[in-house]
Structure 1
Amino acid sequence: MITTRTATAADVTTLAALNAVVHDLHARTRPDIFVTAPAVDALEALLTEQLAEPGVTFVLAETPDGRAVGYAMARVVERPASVLALPETFVSLQQIAVDPTAARGGVGTALLEQVRAIGRAAGCRRLVTQVRDFNEDAYAFYRSAGLSPVTRTLEQAL
């Protein structure tokens, strides 16, 4: 059974190791955008900064023996009203990573449900995330979990 808990600064090394799962896919697929291997100390510093940001929560998924098998980064965003948009508070799933050895074992679902719970507790009315077009497995996971496409980003090399 997978359990989840809020990650702390003591988990930064674990989060950095799990980040490699997703980062490696991005770096292999888009080497024009992503560094091949981020410096571990710089990545850990970034994660430490993000952990301290207001509205940011990292959720760590663990097996019964305490092995970390995934994480999610959630950010509660408060958007003020503008001339064009109503004010809103929503939860943004900014990162999710699942150890390949635990894939299809309920880790992603457990993490996603905790992000939903964070959003509900903050009074959010919706959850948003972004998926790179090449990440078909993630897209299929989110669609099967009930998320629907909202926008599309297009690009062209110049």
Structure 2
Amino acid sequence: MKSLFIRLARLEDLKAIERLSDIVQAIHATSRPDVFRMPVDTEGRRAFFSASISDDRWRVWLASKDERVLAFSMSEVIDKSGPIRSPHFEGHLHQICVDPADRRQGVGMALVQHTVRDLKARGVDRITVNYWNFNTASRALFEAAGFAPVETKAELL
């Protein structure tokens, strides 16, 4: 996408991140109100985003055009080593949201690719993402970016 600028988020970006987070939250809360709150705990969410922006394990990226924030992503480097697992670090893309007005223009793919490049540069052994079955837009984005299912999580309904 021409003239798209991707940069690390700063604390002064919290309002833009929260605006986009509300969009993601509404999608999730509509489909799974038993799991996702609506409205959210705004103070708790602000504390979470603030801590993530300040924590070296996390990256919060913003995609903008002409000073307007179009999207954000959140990723984390996680040490998955343990007594039954080989030593390795996983990069996990926790959240991504593109403003509905800016979807289908390459913003999401550019942000996913940027996040993946950053995680690889940070030395992770694998990169993962989770998405809910009802979130078909996320599934399509991640499949187009090359992500493939490797584990299935089932829920007793």
**Shared topology, TM-score over 0.5?**
yes
Q: CA deviation at 1:52?
A: 2.0
Matched AA of 2:53: L
Matched AA of 2:40: P
SS in 1 for 2:86: coil
- Measured in 1, the distance between the counterparts of 2:93 and 2:109 equals 13
TM-score scaled by structure 1? 0.92
SS in 2 for 1:32: coil
Q: CA deviation at 1:47?
A: 1.0
Q: CA deviation at 1:53?
A: 2.3
- Measured in 1, the distance between the counterparts of 2:102 and 2:33 equals 26
Ranges in structure 1 where 5+ consecutive residues have no aligned partner: none
Per the alignment, residue 99 of structure 2 pairs with 99
> How many residue pairs end up in the alignment?
155
Matched AA of 2:79: E
Per the alignment, residue 89 of structure 1 pairs with 89
Bigger drift between 46-55 and 22-31 goes to 46-55
| Pairs within 5 Å for 1:114-129 | 114-129=114-129
- Measured in 1, the distance between the counterparts of 2:123 and 2:18 equals 30
Q: CA deviation at 1:79?
A: 2.1
Task: Indicate if the aligned counterparts of 1:56 and 1:74 stay in contact, CA closer than 8 A.
Answer: yes
- Measured in 2, the distance between the counterparts of 1:36 and 1:27 equals 6
Give me the identity figure in percent.
27
TM-score scaled by structure 2? 0.93
Q: CA deviation at 1:42?
A: 3.2
- Measured in 1, the distance between the counterparts of 2:102 and 2:128 equals 24
